[in-house]
């Protein structure tokens, strides 16, 4: 199962729980990139630029999809690559979403976010206007993470993918 969605929506939190519930392993392409390149994503953006990061990301996603049968979280911008969207066709992809107010609450507290460094609200709106159709286009299901605990989000995912044991 593959989780997509914007920064801070809960892919890691929900992904870990979902994997535990399914008795599967969790993997995260952002973490794969950090492990492979030996530096944080914010430094890759600064030192090598976003196009280089996107190339590393395409490769990390391709590899993870080929190697990993469990729950996989993709970086927030991974769906920008047409090659990646094509690989996701016919896979059980879930788009986790939240609104602007919740997004501002959740990001900003966390690790540095190169894409939201200046004017996070406006940047968020712009990113989501561009990306919402791409997330929705690859997703088999859309699940809101607002007003739900991470455990409830997992319940909803299992429900909509009809994987829930009754």
Ligand X SMILES: Nc1ncnc2c1ncn2[C@@H]1O[C@H](COP(=O)(O)OP(=O)(O)OP(=O)(O)O)[C@@H](O)[C@H]1O
Q: Residues at the annotated binding site for ATP?
A: 8-13, 113, 148
Largest Cα–Cα separation, the chain? 51
**Nearest one of 144, 24, 57, 148 to 94, comparing CA atoms:** 144
- Is 12 a binding residue for Mg ion by CB under 5 A? The answer is yes
Min dist. Cβ of residue 166 to ligand SKM (A):
34
138 binds, among ligand X, Mg ion, ligand SKM, none (CB under 5 to 8 A by kind): none
* Per-position b or e across 56-87, b if 16+ CB within 10 A of its CB: bbbebbeebbeebeebbbbbbbbbbbeebbeb
Rounded Cα–Cα distance for residues 119 and 152 (Å):
31
- Is 9 a binding residue for ligand X by CB under 6 A? The answer is yes
- Is 144 a binding residue for Mg ion by CB under 5 A? The answer is no
Instruction: List residues binding Mg ion (CB under 5 A).
Output: 11-12
Instruction: List residues binding ligand SKM (CB under 6 A).
Output: 7, 30, 41, 75-77, 113-115
Instruction: List residues binding ligand X (CB under 6 A).
Output: 7-13, 30, 76, 106, 110, 145, 148-150, 153
């Amino acid at each position: 199962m593959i989780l997509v969605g914007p920064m801070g929506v809960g892919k890691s939190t929900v992904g870990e729980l979902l994997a535990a519930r399914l008795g599967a392993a969790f993997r995260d392409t952002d973490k794969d990139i950090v492990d492979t390149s030996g530096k944080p994503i914010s430094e890759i953006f600064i030192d090598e630029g976003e196009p280089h990061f996107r190339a590393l990301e395409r490769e990390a996603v391709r590899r993870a999809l080929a190697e990993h049968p469990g729950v996989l979280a993709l970086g927030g911008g991974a769906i920008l690559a047409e090659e990646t969207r094509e690989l996701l066709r016919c896979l059980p992809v879930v788009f986790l979403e939240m609104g602007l107010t919740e997004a501002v609450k959740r990001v900003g507290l966390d690790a540095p976010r190169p894409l939201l460094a200046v004017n996070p609200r406006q940047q968020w709106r712009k990113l989501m206007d561009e990306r919402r159709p791409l997330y929705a286009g690859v997703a088999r299901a859309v699940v809101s993470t607002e007003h739900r605990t991470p455990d409830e989000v997992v319940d909803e995912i299992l429900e909509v993918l009809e994987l829930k044991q009754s």
